[in-house]
Amino acid sequence: MDTLLPVASGADAGALTADELRELYSLMVAVRHLDTSAIAWQRQGIIPGYAPELGQEAAQVGSGYAVDTTRDFVFPTYREMGVARTMGVDMVAYMSTHKATWHGGLYNPMESRLAPIQAVVAGSVLHAVGWAHGQTLDGKDGVALTYFGDGASSQGDVHEAMNFAAVMKAPVVFFIQNNGWAISVPTERQVAGGSVAARAAGYGIPALHIDGDDVAAVVEATRRAFAHARAGNGPVVIEAMTYRRGPHSTSDDPGRYRSLDEERDGAGIDPLERLRQRLLADGIADEAFFAEALAAAKAEEEQIRTGVQALGSRPGTEMFDLVFQETTPALQAQAANWREESEHV
């Protein structure tokens, strides 16, 4: 499915260069290694929980690679670590949320152009549309990129967001990572018609249904969508077909709802290996390059883990200080009770 008309996009047009493909591979290796390491951190008690993205690296790195951090803004869910890493977000600050040190991450959203991590299912889409509409009102050319999954697409928030964005021609790209599973429910049992992208036609929004395991295809599609939205043509829906190779979260047991054979059959070719084979076939990378990329990823993970372990607890008073601009009697009473119970004052 491709209902997006061509848009003259200048520098965004054209095939990826050899340097860009090598950079994408290095990013995917860094994301893969940090992702699998974060699961080990949870098992070791370094963080209490984590939402893995094994198998979705191409969708995340490819889409994040298309973002212009000087003017665009990204609205993630709780599973977009790969997007954050691609955008250059401080990963210790990002991973602080998984340590439950701080809600939404310790990084600066305005500087990084990545909104706070959103744990509410489909909650990020409404924020993205609001920001994008603000760009239109202010006469600016920033584009919002918002993520959600096939499961979240069944939330009413998504209908409201797409309808408002289409009516107002808000410059927003709705990026769906269809990883085959809404926690334990397969896509075919919870997405009527089998495609989220097909729903875009009901809102008059152009859509792209792409191979989410092909990082080059993801970059191209996202750049096209950005060019369309930036030109004042309104929103675009991208559905990237991929596969969640691991559990929904570190508290999930995928063995309760799918077998290992089903997982292997559904996963297809590893997106990282797929890009590796392309680089070899095109003669733009060799084994020395791959070894260097892996070594850099391991060194980076060590630095991030050390930083995460060094994070201290946030002051408990922040639970009450940062709720309302002007406090309320009820909140003051709760704060007083908390201080009495925890600090004995």
Q: Quick one: pLDDT band at residue 46, thresholds 50, 70, 90?
A: very high
Catalytic residue among 22, 257, 274, 278: 257
Q: Which of 104, 100, 99 minimizes the C-alpha distance to 119?
A: 104
Match 């639970």 to its residue by tokens.
319
Q: Which of 213, 214, 209 minimizes the C-alpha distance to 193?
A: 209
Q: Quick one: pLDDT band at residue 188, thresholds 50, 70, 90?
A: confident
Q: Does 8 score more than 70 pLDDT?
A: no
How much of the chain exceeds pLDDT 90, in percent? 72
Q: How far apart are CA 313 and CA 247, in angstroms?
A: 28
Mean pLDDT across 278-304: 97
Q: Which of 64, 56, 40 minimizes the C-alpha distance to 114?
A: 64
How confident is the model at residue 37, as a pLDDT? 97
How confident is the model at residue 344, as a pLDDT? 65
Q: Does 95 score more than 70 pLDDT?
A: yes
How confident is the model at residue 345, as a pLDDT? 54
Q: How far apart are CA 13 and CA 249, in angstroms?
A: 37
Which range, of 26-40, 61-75, 206-220, 237-251, averages the lowest pLDDT?
Answer: 237-251
How confident is the model at residue 240, as a pLDDT? 96
3-state secondary structure of 175: strand
Q: How far apart are CA 267 and CA 44, in angstroms?
A: 27
Q: Quick one: pLDDT band at residue 194, thresholds 50, 70, 90?
A: confident
3-state secondary structure of 119: coil
Catalytic residue among 79, 199, 224, 248: 248
Convert the pLDDT of each residue in 144-163 to its tens digit: 999 999 988 999 999 999 99
Q: How far apart are CA 236 and CA 3, in angstroms?
A: 10
How confident is the model at residue 267, as a pLDDT? 77
Residues 6+ positions from 36 with CB-CB distance below 8 Å: 52, 54
Query: For the chain, where do the domains classified as CATH 3.40.50.970 start and end?
Result: 10-314
Instruction: Give the chain's count of helices (H) and strands (E).
Output: 13, 7
Q: Does 203 score more than 90 pLDDT?
A: yes
How confident is the model at residue 13, as a pLDDT? 55
Q: Does 296 score more than 60 pLDDT?
A: yes
Mean pLDDT (the chain) is 91
Mean pLDDT across 113-127: 93
Match 């190779």 to its residue by tokens.
245
Q: Is 305 among the residues known to form the active site?
A: no
Mean pLDDT across 124-145: 97
Q: Is the pTM of this model over 0.85?
A: yes
Q: Is 209 among the residues known to form the active site?
A: no
Mean pLDDT across 289-303: 97
How confident is the model at residue 291, as a pLDDT? 98
Q: Is 244 among the residues known to form the active site?
A: yes
Both tokens of residue 330? 């009820």
Q: Does 100 score more than 80 pLDDT?
A: no
How confident is the model at residue 12, as a pLDDT? 53
How confident is the model at residue 316, as a pLDDT? 81
Q: Does 275 score more than 50 pLDDT?
A: yes
Q: Which fold has domain 10-314?
A: Rossmann fold (3.40.50)
Catalytic residue among 32, 33, 209, 244: 244
Mean pLDDT across 11-37: 91
How confident is the model at residue 11, as a pLDDT? 47
Q: Does 180 score more than 60 pLDDT?
A: yes
How confident is the model at residue 184, as a pLDDT? 87
Which residues on neighbouring strands pair with residue 75, listed in sequence order? 146
Mean pLDDT across 106-127: 93
How confident is the model at residue 319, as a pLDDT? 83
How confident is the model at residue 10, as a pLDDT? 47
Q: Quick one: pLDDT band at residue 243, thresholds 50, 70, 90?
A: confident
How confident is the model at residue 206, as a pLDDT? 97
